[in-house]
A and B are shown apart, each in its own frame.
Chain A
Amino acid sequence: MNRLKKYFALTRAGIIECVNYRMALVVMVFGNLLYLTLIYFVWKAIFASSGSDVVNGMTFESTMIYLVLATALFNFMEMYIVWEMGRDIQSGKIALNLLKPMKYKDYLFWSVSGSFVVNFVFTFIPTFLIVMLVTKGTIAIGINLIYFIIAVVLAVIINYEIDFIIGTVCLYTESIWGINVMKQAVVALLSGATIPLAFFPDKLRAVIAYLPFRAIYDTPLTILLSHNPDTGMVAEKMLVSFAWAVVMSLISNLFWRISIKQVTVNGG
């Protein structure tokens, strides 16, 4: 318990910091509304041009529900870890953060965990409630919520590990802009954050099945939106996510350990 206290202290500080920047919260909520309006019209057009109510097994309504929740999830999942690491490394501030009495990876994670909490409470939960009210009964309330929470925790871990691996590249390149933009595009697409995976061609979907990205958005949302989820299906998905979390964490630890020798620490 005492050991966890030092991590939760960082969460607490992060929450205070986040709430301090009130305007940023407001801007985020409005930005979201704007984005959601946009995708509403885009997908309306797609469905209209297809001439049928069901495209790739999804109705317009189910597509919208999926995308709205994916956006809400994205808002708290994307913590700009890569930027954070890039800035730390370029400015030399990494020297101070390396000297905290915990691993840099843990320190960084727990430092941003406060905004996870704030964004979850201030964007995900309201969005979820609104979707639930508006669509009356489309979302089942039951065991799927519990499964969803577990899947989200795994998703957060996998997402963080991927970010940390990309951020570590910064130790070699010093500049990270291009790589990060690429990473964001790849993750947004292959995880199902911007387009439901059902809309992908079969071949691409077969490839995606062997990649970690789908565990970030597709898995939690599929579980959340299923009625009476089949335990076998859920267990299999969770197991895959869990395995990815372990694998990515091993890779990122190893890569970091090799790379940190590289650090030169700017400034002084």
Chain B
Amino acid sequence: MNKEYMIELKDITKEFKVLNRREGLKGSFQDLFSRDYKIVRAVDHISLSVKPGEIVGFLGPNGAGKSTTIKMMTGVLEPTSGELLVNGRIPYKNRTQNSQEIGVVFGQRSQLWWALPLIESFKLLKDIYQIPQDEYDGMMELYGKLVNFDEILHKPVRQMSLGQRTLSDILATFLHNPKVVFLDEPTIGLDVAMKSKIRELILELNKQKHTTVILTTHDMGDVDALCERIVIIDKGKMLYDNDIAHLRKFFGAYRTLKIRPRENIGVMVEELAKELETMDVRISHDNEWVFLLVNEEKTSVLKVLGRIQEKHKIKDMQLEEISTEDVIKKIYKEGI
């Protein structure tokens, strides 16, 4: 395998053997003696190479196999088949050694010590990762510049809000200056301000420390803010692996037409669905706006607008490029 890559996956497959469970109390007892297994293929022949310093976003609907792939890359799970190298090592074979050079955040799970103030957790990590004093001081200084963490530094982790804890967890993960950091849904459940704070932090640490970052998310804001490259998987299979600009170009013919109607929005959407049936337009809405995703290779936006105005009055309208969100939604639904 190639030295210039930080992570290399070749034909990686992971299968889980799960018991076909029966229902009810009686079923549970029958299960005790059951040998009725089925094989779930969570990851299906995925190949991928990541260069040092890249930020790669892993996208895919629920159950796609993202977390499973991450668990294999960290060395917690052994692949069923395929070759896998991280930082030149086979992760599950050198787990202890490997963990010295990687960092992991798993969604809502915290690696911090519940009863200890954050600073004590940091000191503990310093000792167990054997971080030299000067590097530790340097990192703390950098953290001090990037986020304002004085107010949480002396707070026991169990008293922190979810956002504060996630922030702390990410800081803890980068503390030993790992070469690769895996972030499995790092912004889940956070408010807008904390999300953007965490994105900035990740981006800045990636830049300053040249850390390779693999992250999974369902939030396209994360993708727009962080990832130049995205990998989309679904049902364990790789659907897409390229930069994000390329993906938007791919869907370049799509425009989102936003309309603010005068009438009741729910009623209007229902009527539009019928009126525009032949035009291959995808309709969605929020409280204020109706969004129409138009493929201009098939229908022009003006035609759609004309058709709408035959029956409806419009208060306001806007035309936008297709958003990452819409691109991803389309891919999940229809494939590439």
Contact = CB atoms under 8 A, between A and B. Distances in A.
Interface of A: 2, 5-6, 8-10, 12-13, 16-17, 20-21, 91-96, 98-103, 261, 263-265, 267-268
A95 B115 contact: no
Contacts of A99: 74-76, 95, 99, 102, 104
B96 interface: yes
- Residue from the set A98, A99, A101 with the largest chain B CB neighbour count within 10 Å: A99
Interface of B: 16, 66-68, 70-71, 74-78, 95-97, 99-100, 102, 104, 106-107, 109, 111, 113-116, 120, 123-124, 127-130, 156, 184
| Closest A-B pairs by Cβ, 9 of them | A268-B67, A9-B127, A17-B115, A6-B128, A99-B99, A101-B100, A20-B115, A95-B76, A96-B111
A101 B96 contact: yes
A20 B102 CA distance: 31
Nearest to A107: B128
Contacts of A6: 127-130
A21 B115 contact: yes
Contact of B109 (A9, A10, A21, A92): A92
Contacts of B106: 92, 95-96, 267-268
A96 B104 contact: yes
B128 A16 contact: no
A103 B116 contact: no
Given A93-B109, A96-B111, A102-B128, A265 B116 contact: no
B77 A263 contact: yes
Given A13-B113, A101-B128, A265-B77, A95 B71 contact: yes
Contacts of B129: 6, 101
Contacts of A264: 16, 77
A98 B68 contact: no
B153 to A, nearest CB: 16
A8 B128 CA distance: 9
A20 B114 CA distance: 11
A101 B75 CA distance: 12
Contact of B107 (A100, A103, A268): A268
Contacts of B76: 94-95, 98-99, 263, 265
Contact of B128 (A98, A100, A261): A100
Given A13-B120, A17-B115, A101-B97, 12 more contacts: A2-B130, A13-B124, A93-B109, A94-B76, A95-B76, A96-B104, A96-B106, A96-B111, A263-B77, A264-B16, A265-B77, A268-B71
